[in-house]
Amino acid sequence: MGKFKSFWKDNWIGYLFLAPWMIGLVTLTAIPMGASLYFSFTNYDMFSAPTWIGLDNYTQLFSDEKWLESVRVTLIYVLIGVPLQLTFALFIATLLNKGISGLSLYRAIYYVPSLFGGSVAIAILWRQIFGGNGLINNLLSNIGIEGTNWISNPNTALYTLIVLMIWQFGASMVIFLAGLKQVPIELYESAKMDGASPWKQFSKITLPLITPVVFFNLVMGIIGAFQAFTPAYIVSGGTGGPLNSTLFYTLYLYQKGFTQFSMGYASAMAWFLLLAIAIATAIIFATSKKWVYYQG
Amino acid sequence: MEISTKHNHIVRVSKKRQKISKVFIHGFVILFGIVMLYPLLWMVASSFKNPSEIFSSVSFYPSKWTIDNYVQGWAGVSGYTFDSFFVNTLIIVTLAIIGNIIACSMAAYAFAKLEFKFKSVMFALMLLTLMLPFHVTVIPQYIMFNYLDWINTYYPLILPKFFATEGFFVFLMVQFMKGIPNELVEAAEIDGCGRIKTYWYLILPLSVPALVTTMIFTFIWTWNDFFGQLLYISDLKLFTVALGLRMFLDSAGESAWGPMFAMSTLSLIPLFIVFVFFQRYLIEGITTGGLKG
């Protein structure tokens, strides 16, 4: 008892300020995590008590074709979308970093899509633009090409969402710009003296020196892309169609958990997602020693 | 002499070349920027067009300007208009901002300026929660809020902010508060300020930039949030702008692009205003905290 009292006396003020966060950590994070881990081993529909079924939910995942499809769709979205988004971000950031005037105006213009991109409004716009009578097809018909309905064609629907992700490269670009500013200008000057071409300068100076920023953007981009939801929900009207071609992992989780109330199954899905994100992040961290260059 | 004129010549040529390449960069960046913004600008322009014109023309300017789309769109669905959707969203956003400011700044002060046992463990836990996909907590949270009879209330959307669940902001503020010199804190203590007074009279006023950044991002994220609102709100009376737009899409379908564009445009205006006035804080938040839009 005495020990506890003296602990409290030394530390109470810190814990007082930390109290709201700690209450949140316990009630909104820790307990729910424990609960969802437990649910993932049960059959639970919210209306009757959960029944223990061991690993069944997890093994069922692998024979659930819809789940496998959602994994495939999400992987394509992440593996194509994130690298392309970062490529655009780095390309434009490099151009803007050439000491041109009006930098802050350009930066603002390119950032606007990131600001709006996650909203329902933009997802609605996307549905029109890539629809059968949409903006894209109207533009194409001007040059004599007849486009498909990109949204309702299962071969193209996912790529409209990837375009939407790429369109939002502005936030990563801003981070790249901040990183590029840290590269000492003398390095470029001496490289120019030695007659290095712009591409050489980029690949031998710029790229190595901003690998820490690439690393950061890559990790954040992948974590974010795995969890994307709104665009797929709005563009497909909540179905993930056509033919499950836009069935993002989180959309399927939502359908399972909150329209079919298979809470146990959805919990297993959530834990699998956590695992997937952890593995992806771990791989990037593990390989980072090989390609991320830290100064000093 | 000769060498120096040659050198000057080279410098002049390379300066000229630089100038030309800069013109090219400007041209490219402007063109590409227009391509990027075209969909947005086209949506805004189309919201003033006659519905039939939206499909038939790619041209920017409406052949005949009309605000019919706005009138029709604002009327909403089943008697619930966009006044109520906007007011509801503003209520949620305002309370979320208050919650985040209070709870995150308190936690950040503890992490940045106070000493207590297990601080580094707690800080590590906070960083871990940053990486956590919210899907692993959302199902039990839903069950809990359902048990408390909070479905179709704003509590599930607002209350978590009062418990600093958005660790990004805690992290951002910790970074900022660490930059406040300890001498200032010590001076305040010598002047008789306790820790609580120091927080209130010294740390908070000095942290205003970080607080503003938090406000802005809370505004943007809450305004753009869809998943949470979809999950917890099904009562039309409580609908937000995002839910209103989605319902509009479901009920009117592809037949009402005009009104839909009008309301989509209106729904982006608050974000745009925040962007125009607080751009500096936004950029700062992105570069120091890695917060994305």
Check CB contact under 8 Å for A20 and B135. Answer: no
Indicate whether B5 pLDDT > 70: no
Buried b (16+ CB within 10 A) or exposed e, A266-294: bbbbbbbbbebbeebeeeeeeebeeebee
**Is A229 a domain residue?**
yes
Q: Which residue in chain B is spatially nearest to A222 when comparing CA positions?
A: B131
Which residue would you say has higher pLDDT here, B68 or B18?
B68
Percent of chain A with pLDDT over 90: 74
Paired residues of B77 in beta bridges = B80
Whole-number pLDDT of residue A2: 65
Cβ neighbours of residue B66 under 8 Å, at least 6 residues apart?
Answer: B48, B49, B50
- Per residue in A244-281, pLDDT tens? 999 999 999 999 999 999 999 999 999 999 999 999 99
Lowest mean pLDDT among B60-74, B107-121, B258-272: B60-74
| Band of residue B10 on the pLDDT scale cut at 50, 70, 90 | low
Q: What is the Cα–Cα distance from B195 to B187, expressed in whole angstroms? A: 12
Indicate whether B289 pLDDT > 90: no
A40: left (phi over 0), alpha (psi -120 to 50) or beta: alpha
| Band of residue B7 on the pLDDT scale cut at 50, 70, 90 | low
Residues in A touching B271 (Cβ below 8 Å): 115-116, 119
At position B126, the amino acid (one-letter code) is: M
- Here the tokens at position B44 are 């805004």
| Band of residue B163 on the pLDDT scale cut at 50, 70, 90 | very high
Residue A226 near residue A277 (C-beta atoms within 8 A)? yes
Percent of chain B with pLDDT over 70: 92
Q: How many domains does chain A have?
A: 1
**Is A11 a domain residue?**
no
Whole-number pLDDT of residue B1: 45
Whole-number pLDDT of residue A6: 77
Residues in A touching B263 (Cβ below 8 Å): 121
Q: Which residue in chain A is spatially nearest to B269 when comparing CA positions?
A: A116
Residue A226 near residue A81 (C-beta atoms within 8 A)? no
Compute the half-sphere exposure of residue B273: CA atoms within 13 Å on the CB side of its CA: 8
- Per residue in B45-95, pLDDT tens? 999 998 777 777 667 788 888 899 999 899 887 788 999 999 999 999 999
Q: What is the Cα–Cα distance from A170 to B18, expressed in whole angstroms? A: 26
Spans in chain A with pLDDT lower than 70: 1-2, 295-296
Residues in A touching B14 (Cβ below 8 Å): 192
C-alpha distance from A290 to closest chain B C-alpha (Å): 23
CATH at A283: 1.10.3720.10
Whole-number pLDDT of residue A260: 95
Q: What is the Cα–Cα distance from B188 to B182, expressed in whole angstroms? A: 10
Q: What is the Cα–Cα distance from A51 to A257, expressed in whole angstroms? A: 16
* Domain assignments of chain B as residue spans, ordered by start: 2-69, 71-289
Residues in B touching A110 (Cβ below 8 Å): 33, 36
**Is A88 a domain residue?**
yes
Q: Which of A12, A101, A125, A201 to mutate to test the interface with B (most CBs of B within 10 A)?
A: A125
The answer to whether B146 contacts chain A (CB < 8 Å) is yes
Which overall architecture, per CATH, does domain B71-289 show?
Orthogonal Bundle (1.10)
Residue B175 near residue B289 (C-beta atoms within 8 A)? yes
Residues in A touching B254 (Cβ below 8 Å): 131
- The H-or-E segment that residue B33 falls in is helix B2-46
**Domain extent for A98:** 56-291
Of residues A138, A250, A268, the one with CA closest to residue B231: A250
Q: What is the Cα–Cα distance from B219 to B173, expressed in whole angstroms? A: 17
Calculate mean pLDDT across residues B154-169: 95
Nearest to B143 among A46, A178, A274 (CB): A46
Indicate whether B162 pLDDT > 80: yes
Cβ neighbours of residue B155 under 8 Å, at least 6 residues apart?
Answer: B145, B148
